Amino acid sequence: KSEEEGPVLVSCNNLFFYADASKKDVPEDIDIDMDAPETEKAAVAIQSQFRKFQKKKNDDKS
């Protein structure tokens, strides 16, 4: 087990985000059924919102 401090890059369903590795009250393992239809629906919804966010961010730069 790594004793890293600060944010760590984590991936889930090809999405990447930072998690705070210094938090010790987070469960070590999370068992997510990657084949469940609910998981796929959640991933699609998250990806959709992220794409909207990225598009808005890029449009604001223009």
Binned at pLDDT 50, 70 and 90, residue 1 comes out as very low
5-59: per-residue pLDDT in tens? 666 666 666 676 666 656 566 566 778 898 999 999 999 999 999 999 999 988 8
Q: What is the pLDDT of residue 41?
A: 93
- The yes-or-no verdict on residue 60 having pLDDT over 70 is yes
Where do the domains of the chain lie? 33-62
Cα-based torsion angle of the residue sequence 24, 15, 39, 57 in order, rounded to the nearest 10 degrees:
110
**Strand spans (E) along the chain:** 7-12, 15-20
Q: Which pTM was predicted?
A: 0.48
What's the pLDDT at 25? 60
